[in-house]
């Protein structure tokens, strides 16, 4: 893997507080990050993958059944130190959860979702972002409508437009599920805004969202079909990545 930039390995904020409603009864008693995939909690696969890129610290933003996640995963896994940030009652939303965790994350950090398995060079993405000097990062995949609705316009190393709600025909890329923020970027939208996508939309519109291209498709566990697909893939990987 490519070496990290001058700041060294960046901390990673994992958004793992969602209810997982599309999974129905599967998550009635088990939080989504702990669902068994290829014989292990899904989160264990994620953490092992991050460790392979040299990640040393993770902050897990948890909400629904968060105590079970902390009890199962603990303060260290795969050599990564793990801290926990709990949503307020009623859940904080993606951006709200990041704001709550900010004191644990420092000045610059990566962000990913707790239901995605992303085969990308995390160190290289972090280095490219740090060298850009921009407040935000979005990893994108050339999508052409294959995996979901394309929602990003990526040009010359920057995401210059991003809109999940009203994507335009020229958007051939998709938000891969890995990004980065500086602490100061969190103040770019009002305190009442709880959706990370709104901050990404603003940063892209203002030319301040660094882009990094992933080349491997993502896997996720947000629906029963996707969960089965991720299980098949990870079983095929065995103990490798």
Q: Which domains are seen in the chain, by residue range?
A: 9-119+218-241 (3.90.550.10), 133-176+183-216 (3.90.550.10)
DSSP E strand stretches across 78-167? 80-86, 108-113, 116-117, 136-142, 152-155, 158-162
At 17, the pLDDT band (50, 70, 90 cuts) reads confident
Q: Read off the pLDDT of residues 38-68 as tens digits, 9 standing for 90 and up.
A: 999 999 999 999 999 999 999 999 988 899 9
Cβ 186 vs Cβ 79: under 8 Å: no
Structure-token pair, residue 93? 């939303």
At 199, the pLDDT band (50, 70, 90 cuts) reads very high
Which residues make Cβ contacts (< 8 Å) with residue 114, sequence separation at least 6?
A: 14, 15, 16, 17, 18, 32, 33, 42, 43, 46, 60
Q: Read off the pLDDT of residues 131-147 as tens digits, 9 standing for 90 and up.
A: 999 999 999 999 887 87
Measured between alpha carbons, how far is 154 from 172 in angstroms, rounded to an integer? 8
Whose tokens are 């994350």? That residue is 105
């Amino acid at each position: 893997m490519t070496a990290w930039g001058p700041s060294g390995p960046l901390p990673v904020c994992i958004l793992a507080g969602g209810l997982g409603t599309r999974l129905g009864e599967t998550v009635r008693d088990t939080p989504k990050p702990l669902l068994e995939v290829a014989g292990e909690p899904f989160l264990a696969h994620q953490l092992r993958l991050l460790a392979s890129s040299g990640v040393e610290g993770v902050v897990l933003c948890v909400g629904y059944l968060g105590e079970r996640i902390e009890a199962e995963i603990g303060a260290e896994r795969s050599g990564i130190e793990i801290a926990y940030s709990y949503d307020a009652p009623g859940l904080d939303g993606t951006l709200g959860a990041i704001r709550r965790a900010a004191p644990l994350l420092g000045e610059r950090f990566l962000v990913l979702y707790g239901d995605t398995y992303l085969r990308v060079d995390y160190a290289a993405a972090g280095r490219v972002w740090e060298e850009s000097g921009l407040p935000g990062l979005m990893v994108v995949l050339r999508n052409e409508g294959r995996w979901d609705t394309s929602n990003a316009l990526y040009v010359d190393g920057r995401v210059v437009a991003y809109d999940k709600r009203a994507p335009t025909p020229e958007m051939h890329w998709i938000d891969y599920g890995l990004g980065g923020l500086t602490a100061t970027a969190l103040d770019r939208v009002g305190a009442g805004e709880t959706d990370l996508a709104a901050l990404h939309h603003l940063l892209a519109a203002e030319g301040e969202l660094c882009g990094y291209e992933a080349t491997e498709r993502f896997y996720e566990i947000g629906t029963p079909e996707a969960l089965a697909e991720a299980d098949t893939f990870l079983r095929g990987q065995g103990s490798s990545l």
